[in-house]
Amino acid sequence: MSFFKNNKSAMYKYQGLLIHESHDDEGIIEVIESKDGVRSLHFGSYSRQSSIRLSDPHLLELEYVKTMTAWMLFKQTLTDDVLIVGLGGGSITKHLLEHFPDCRLKAIEYRKSVVKVARSYFDLPLDPRLKIIIDDGGQYIRQRAETYPEHYSLLFIDAFDHEGLSPSIRNPAFFDACKALLKKDGILVVNLWGGTNNPEFQQVSQWIGDSFNWQTLFLPVQDRGNIIALAFNDYEPSLNLQDLKNYAVALKQQYQIDFPYFLKELKKHNSSTFKLVIKP
């Protein structure tokens, strides 16, 4: 149900109606609803952390979240464990629950109040396949790298605070731990910010490349400052380029996401590493 009302008492921010505001030790949490029926999560700035279209809540609304689905080009099935660091409004989590009924998800979220908002305003379901843990994602991964080696098929990192990428994951040991947690055919998917000339992006991409022996791909988000990193753990390619093109078309038809564009951009921006994840 839309909360949008044209009345004098309503408060407007970020070109929309403020329908929820709360505070915790990390700062402000806001939920904004626009006139076109899109509800968004904000952490005290114009940047949207998560969005949902009320008329079609299962649709992935934000371009960077759609781009994070590019992993599907390289993994045709998903029947086991996935780890997500940074829940936000739960867009990635909901997409996996809906389309991959045999997977089991564990989401690490630092802010308990964010989980409450995701449940109340962004349709994050109560599902026996989903376990949410309130913890620091960087610490959680480093602590479990030795006790749960080769446990996850997919690992998503989407963890930003008001200043950028969360400090606990801005170090090389974190990405070494990510590699240790992934199965041999596992894929790490990271949302990065700032563009290729940004010093933080350059440093983090170097750490990811070093940890994963440069079996990595970087995919700029269309018309946005985000870049999605895909890192492959001892990955053995199963498709050649033509097969990948055909598969991308099939994925677009199934999910209404432009996978052929992702494939074209991956090839364009990763000339030296693209050949490491496709068959000759």
161, 176, 217, 218 from 271: Cα distances, Å: 32, 24, 9, 11
Does residue 5 lie within any of the structural domains?
Answer: no
Band of residue 201 on the pLDDT scale cut at 50, 70, 90: confident
Amino acid 219: pLDDT: 97
Q: Are 221 and 63 in contact (CB under 8 A)?
A: yes
pLDDT at 2 over 60: no
45 and 75, same domain (yes or no): no
Model confidence over 100-122: pLDDT tens digits?
Answer: 999 999 999 999 999 999 999 99
Count of alpha carbons within 13 Å of 17, Cβ hemisphere only?
A: 17
Does residue 113 lie within any of the structural domains?
Answer: yes
Domain that holds residue 142: 63-276
Percent of the chain with pLDDT over 90: 80
183 and 72, same domain (yes or no): yes
101 and 24, same domain (yes or no): no
Model confidence over 66-89: pLDDT tens digits?
Answer: 999 999 999 989 999 999 999 999
pLDDT at 222 over 60: yes
21 and 130, same domain (yes or no): no
47 and 156, same domain (yes or no): no
For the beta sheet containing 38-42, the strands, ordered from the edge strand earlier in sequence to the opposite edge, are 12-13, 16-24, 27-33, 38-42, 48-53
21 and 122, same domain (yes or no): no
Average pLDDT over residues 207-222: 95
Higher pLDDT, 162 or 158: 158
Amino acid 79: pLDDT: 93
19 and 144, same domain (yes or no): no
41 and 122, same domain (yes or no): no
**Minimal CA–CA distance to 278: which of 242, 240, 245, 243?**
240
67 and 41, same domain (yes or no): no
Rounded to an integer, what distance in angstroms lies between the CA atom of residue 172 and that of residue 34? 39
Band of residue 164 on the pLDDT scale cut at 50, 70, 90: low
Q: Are 131 and 84 in contact (CB under 8 A)?
A: no
Does residue 7 lie within any of the structural domains?
Answer: no
Model confidence over 14-45: pLDDT tens digits?
Answer: 999 999 999 999 999 999 999 999 999 999 99
pLDDT at 144 over 90: yes
Does residue 3 lie within any of the structural domains?
Answer: no
Amino acid 165: pLDDT: 74
46 and 127, same domain (yes or no): no
Model confidence over 230-280: pLDDT tens digits?
Answer: 999 998 898 999 999 999 999 999 999 999 999 999 999 999 999 999 988
238 and 155, same domain (yes or no): yes
Rounded to an integer, what distance in angstroms lies between the CA atom of residue 279 and that of residue 243? 9
Amino acid 9: pLDDT: 58
Mean pLDDT of the chain, nearest integer: 92
157 and 105, same domain (yes or no): yes
* Single pTM value for the model: 0.93
Give the total number of structural domains in the chain: 2
β-pairing verdict for 27-33 and 38-42: antiparallel
